[in-house]
Amino acid sequence: MCGKLVMSRLIQGDVGSGKTIVALLALLLAALNGYQGAMMAPTEVLAKQHYESIIEMLEKYQIPVKTELLTGSMTAKEKGSLSEDCCGRSADCSGNHALIQEKVVYDKLALVITDEQHRFGVGQRELLSEKGETPHVLVMSATPIPRTL
């Protein structure tokens, strides 16, 4: 991510193998350099698990990065304030399909992470990437998919 080329990587590993830690480190690299990252999961339950894991690690190591969770089940008011945070660069967002809604605009999106990427369509993954200028892309999966490899 620090080189001249845009990163495009797949992390494939079993559940519990450390994919979320690698994603967190990539998000931290973006955030601590003044950029935003977005981590998209296919379900609200998984998005919430990622969010809680990330918050726990940030608090444990006292890392001052503001992270927000955006999901489809949130009220319009909750989504509105989160969208403003993402737009205004005051938060790095994680969530589910809600991250690709038109209303969600990022100021400096430099990293897009998609977990269980095979559960999203190519168009959905592209929609999130297109919200940044040319963001680095990290896709994760616990399911080996020959076509993806």
Per-residue pLDDT of the chain (149 residues; tens, 9 = 90+): 988 999 999 999 998 899 989 998 999 999 989 999 999 888 889 889 988 988 998 899 998 888 888 887 877 777 666 655 565 554 566 666 778 887 788 888 999 999 887 667 677 878 888 888 999 999 998 887 766 65
With CA atoms as reference, report the closest residue to 66 among 32, 27, 92.
92
Which pLDDT belongs to residue 122?
73
Which pLDDT belongs to residue 91?
52
How far apart (Å, rounded) are the C-alpha atoms in residues 68 and 83?
10
Global pTM? 0.85
Which pLDDT belongs to residue 86?
60
3-class SS at 21?
A: helix
DSSP E strand stretches across 36-127: 36-40, 67-70, 92-95, 109-115
How far apart (Å, rounded) are the C-alpha atoms in residues 101 and 80?
12
With CA atoms as reference, report the closest residue to 124 among 106, 139, 136.
139
Which pLDDT belongs to residue 148?
62
Which pLDDT belongs to residue 115?
86
